[in-house]
Amino acid sequence: MGTLLEVKDLRTQFFTQDGVVNAVNGISYTVDEGETLAIVGESGCGKSVGVMSLIRLIPMPPGKIVGGEVWFDGRDLVKLDDDEIRQVRGNRVAMIFQDPMTSLNPVLTIGRQISESLVLHLGMDKQQARQRSAELLELVGIPSAANRLDDYPHQFSGGMRQRVMIAMGLSCNPQLLIADEPTTALDVTIQAQIVDLVKKLKNEIGMAIIWITHDLGVVAGLAERVIVMYAGFIVEESEVGDLYADPRHPYTLGLLGSLPRLDSDGTERLISIEGVPPDLMDLPKGCPFYARCTYRIDKCRDENPKLEVVSRNHKVACWVDVRGVAA
């Protein structure tokens, strides 16, 4: 498999009346063709801003991509003009958002909203687009799909609305699908259905996926590789199995420790990460996790570690070998 997307030192800031918010602070990673990459971290760590920057959905102003490159299909998406990026967005790269009720237009029918990208990007006429829209709704498991095209978003349940969003995302057969916490607003049963649906569609269509989540429990059966973000930085990157078996950053240890385990005897207490994330308008000089870290040393306060390779396909930004300390 070849590399589909390459992100190099991407930096995004928001210029507000109170100061400059350093939302994304020099992240670099790749996504291969057909791969599923999960990006995890707590709210405000830069996950969503990072992926929205890829396809230039950051509101400008106050937001601005202040540095870095995003290479996709031989072009740097950061340097494309508005018309050029619109040809990529929704066509070659599609995005599913967290809350389908706010992403769907409440006064337009589902059929019209799906048809829009088919007409715009694939040049279909209205009849062709309507037929394809029905096929897409059927693909994502909506019963009586052809009869639901003239319904409005409020006539669908939350899980069905998210299926509609997936159908819209898949409408132009994208090479890359970005899913920004698509199961957060759904109950656990529907979450599992949506995750299974995306896995099934990925295998059928062969697209790559970037899956954004704060829930490491969802990641295990979905992704091949995981990036852990904190305060706008990537602090760990690994193949999914290695991350669970051998986490190397204290923040990752905290995230995994807060998850209930099926193999537990029920006597172990879940771990909580003490403290709060740093102020993104006033980042510390050293490691951003320093104030909350139980493994910290003096060097962590003064110098922020770079992401370094620690084993095959495993990178960590930490001055301390947590395995040695734990031992």
Report the 10 Å Cβ neighbour count for 224: 14
Which of 230, 240, 227, 266 has the alpha carbon at shortest distance from 7? 227
Between CA 63 and CA 194 the distance in angstroms is 31
What pLDDT does 327 receive?
Answer: 41
Which of 187, 203, 19, 177 has the alpha carbon at shortest distance from 97? 177
**Cβ contact 322:249 at 8 Å:** yes
Return the amino acid letter for 65.
I
What pLDDT does 261 receive?
Answer: 64
**Cβ contact 216:252 at 8 Å:** no
Per-residue pLDDT of the chain (327 residues), as tens digits, is 689 999 999 999 999 999 999 999 999 999 999 999 999 998 889 999 999 999 999 988 899 999 999 999 889 999 999 999 988 988 899 998 877 677 789 999 999 999 998 998 888 999 999 999 999 999 888 899 999 999 999 999 888 898 898 888 888 889 999 998 887 767 788 888 888 888 888 888 889 999 998 888 788 888 999 999 999 999 999 999 999 999 999 999 998 887 766 665 566 677 788 889 999 999 999 999 999 999 999 999 999 999 999 988 899 999 998 876 654
What pLDDT does 267 receive?
Answer: 63
Between CA 241 and CA 244 the distance in angstroms is 5
Return the amino acid letter for 106.
P
Report the 10 Å Cβ neighbour count for 191: 19
Between CA 194 and CA 91 the distance in angstroms is 22
The tokens for 284 are 């510390």
What pLDDT does 187 receive?
Answer: 79
Between CA 199 and CA 267 the distance in angstroms is 34
State which H helix or E strand residue 194 sits in: helix 188-205
What pLDDT does 318 receive?
Answer: 96
Q: How many residues does the chain have?
A: 327
113: left (phi over 0), alpha (psi -120 to 50) or beta: alpha
Owner of token pair 């619109």: 86
